[in-house]
Amino acid sequence: MKKHLLALAVTALAAGGALAQASDTIAKVKASGVVTMGVRDSSGALSYTLGDGKYAGYHVEICSRIIANLEKAAGKKLEVKYQPVTSQNRIPLVQNGTVDIECGSTTNNATRQKDVSFALTTYVEEVRIAAKANSGIDSLAKLNGKNVATTTGTTSVQLLRKHERANGIDFKEVFGKDHADSFLLLESGRADAFVMDGQILAGNIATAKNPADFRIVGEVISVEPIAIMLRKDDPAFKKLADDTIRDMMKTGDIQKVYDKWFVQPIPPKNTRVGLPVSTATKDAWTTPNDKPLEDYAKK
């Protein structure tokens, strides 16, 4: 019995140590020699797959800058592993230590801040509607009686339903498992519109078979701060990430990285997203902050 209790105690201590290390990212990666980046397959120019296990995008590049400084803090070269995440599993994978830094298209809001931390806001998004150019849909009102695609685990349609101009509008939600799947619902006619972050819409339209068949229309449904996600209660790693981003903002390097992904041709097809930086994003660079969505909504 004593041996059994001792074994249980050792197991509990080991588990506690693993959890403690998981919340100390610098110690965790120093011990393992590996850092895991959470990435998205189709989050527009923020994070997307190039195929063959390779990923690229604005947030992927910023995360790479953070990891370069993480290597300095750890005192060693780290193996970088990519872990594809979805809107549904991204937060649990950060919480349980599977992913060390999530570099996708996650909105920083008060509810999520209870479970995870966010680095300084690097992109401020406008949620919009994408529709076929010949659909006649050009406003929220025109969504009445329509099928509206959204991606499982995202907030976009919830925000649409709360929008003051959506009162009395009755539409049916159809869900895609990821952003590419949601766009396919629109492309194939199973959905009449796709409500999502404007840059994700623009990115999917740019890589569509016939980009001219689609357009982004209607009112701005919501303005959302998008940020790189980190584990909660890890102040050392958050400071490292924030300092990296703040330095990019101070030097103007973040503007160059933004233009590289949103304005210039990007791989693999050398298409352009064609989305110059917004005033809201520039404001976030000028006054670095990690404020949640709710603070933007008060404006």
Same domain, yes or no: 68 and 178? no
Q: Does residue 3 have a pLDDT over 50?
A: no
What is the end-to-end Cα distance of the chain in Å, rounded? 63
Q: Does residue 67 have a pLDDT over 70?
A: yes
State pLDDT tens for residues 181-223. Answer: 999 999 999 999 999 989 889 989 988 999 999 999 998 888 8
Tokens read off for 251? 């030097």
State pLDDT tens for residues 91-103. Answer: 999 999 999 999 9
Same domain, yes or no: 173 and 260? no
Same domain, yes or no: 130 and 174? yes
Does the pTM surpass 0.75? The reply is: yes
Same domain, yes or no: 239 and 180? no
Same domain, yes or no: 120 and 230? yes
Position 19 scores a pLDDT of 44
Position 12 scores a pLDDT of 41
Q: Does residue 161 have a pLDDT over 60?
A: yes
Q: Which of 54-58, 113-117, 276-280 has the lowest mean pLDDT?
A: 276-280
Domain extent for 254 = 31-124+226-297
State pLDDT tens for residues 231-290. Answer: 999 999 999 999 999 999 999 999 999 999 999 999 998 988 888 898 889 999 999 999
Of the CA atoms within 13 Å of residue 240, those in its CB half-sphere come to 22
- The CATH number of whichever domain residue 62 belongs to comes to 3.40.190.10
